[in-house]
Amino acid sequence: MLKDLISQYIEEIRSANIEKFEDRAAEVEKFRVRFLGRKGVMNELFEQFKTLPNDQKKEMGIALNELKNAAMAKVEEFKNFVEEKMDVEDSHDLTLTADFSQRGSRHVLSVTMNEIAEIFARIGFTIEESVEIEDDWHLFSALNFPPDHPARDMQDTFFVQKEEGKMDVALRTHTSSVQVRVMETHKPPIRIIAPGRVFRNEAISARAHCIFHQVEGLYVDKKVTFADLKQTLLYFAKEMFGQDTQIRLRPSYFPFTEPSAEMDVSCNICGGKGCNICKGTGWLEILGCGMVDPNVLDACGIDSKEYTGFAFGMGVERMAMLKYQIRDLRLYFENDLRFLHQFDNII
């Protein structure tokens, strides 16, 4: 009789299922009390066990112990189940409203490009944007690079199409191509800046990248002189790097300007005394510029006897590097949040 009872309880324990209950924690406790409590099944069966004749005690003792172990194991299993369920339900509260507190911010290159654009907008320059895939004419020929002139090798170009006897198409290597597009379609006075992406076939390193950004400037009108260029760039340098900034122009060469110059600003880190950023010179090179070559004006349909102009071009990555002391170009393109978040609060 005890034997039958034991196998009945074993079956009950085996088939007990906690999942169907609403309040599972309470159900576990109920189950535990029913089998293992003071007035529970086990104690009751042990009472009966005491009355058994001695020859049955060994067999029934083993069976009872098995039943007890089964009950304890089941209680443990139920407890674990309830705990796990609670963990999952706690960490996924589907009734919570979404958390939008991680807001994005503008990339430091966009911020810098906007800042340059705003500085020039204040003195009447408007923004022109144009295509990134350019033809030979707008990239080189109209800009006074003679055919097969070594100057074309000054820039390592990504050609999209290079076929014998056909016009070459390439990713633009500089934003100077926008000068040509604007002059071909607008009559002076022209006063524009052209911000945008440029591409060069360079090995990627801390100082070079195959994609970067430039801002081109162009001013064409009657009687534009080198003094206008100098004054415009001095204004820009002071707005960009602080009112104490000084500039110097060094003679240089570009096919599309004559005369041509490179502009340095006094080092904003050491104030011109000399440090490792300016390599001890007190000066930082920031852009190329010059008077638009009469050949370029004529090639673009603007009469060079009537009009003159100046142009300049600068690298945005370099500008941001100098302004925010960024030492590696690759950081701009890696989208590492630890880098990006440092610029959250600049406008």
**Could you list the residues that contact ligand DAH (CB under 6 A)?**
174, 176, 216, 254, 257, 288-290, 311-313
Q: Which is nearer to ligand DAH, 239 or 285 (CB)?
A: 285
* CA gap 115, 125 in Å, rounded: 13
Nearer to ligand DAH by Cβ, of 245 and 257: the residue is 257
- Angle at 343 (CA atoms; ends 206, 175), nearest 5 degrees: 55
Cβ distance to ligand DAH smaller for residue 10 or 151: 151
User: Residue type for 121, please?
Assistant: A
Q: Report in angstroms how near the CB of residue 196 gets to ligand DAH at its nearest.
A: 12
CB of 152 to ligand DAH, least distance (A): 13
Using CB positions, name the residue nearest to ligand DAH.
Answer: 313
User: What is the C-alpha separation between 234 and 263, in angstroms, rounded?
Assistant: 10
Work out how close the CB of 203 gets to ligand DAH at its nearest, in angstroms, rounded to a whole number. 18
Rounded Cα distance between 37 and 22, Å, is: 23
Q: Residue 196 or 313: which CB sits closer to ligand DAH?
A: 313
Residue among 216 and 264 whose Cβ is closer to ligand DAH: 216
Paired tokens of 208: 């070079």
Angle at CA of residue 241, ends 239 and 247, nearest 5°: 90
Q: Could you give the CA distance from residue 331 to residue 44 in angstroms, rounded to a whole number?
A: 75
Per-residue HEC secondary structure of 158-223 comes to CEEECCCCCCCEEECCCCHHHHHHHHHHCCCCEEEEEEEEEECCCCCCCCCCCEEEEEEEEEEECC
**In the complex, minimum distance from the CB of residue 176 to ligand DAH, in angstroms, rounded to a whole number:** 4
Query: Would you say 59 or 156 has its CB closer to ligand DAH?
Result: 156
Smallest gap from residue 225 Cβ to ligand DAH (A): 15
Burial 124-136 (b: 16+ CB within 10 A, else e): ebeebebeeebbb
Distance in Å, CB of 343 to ligand DAH, minimum: 25
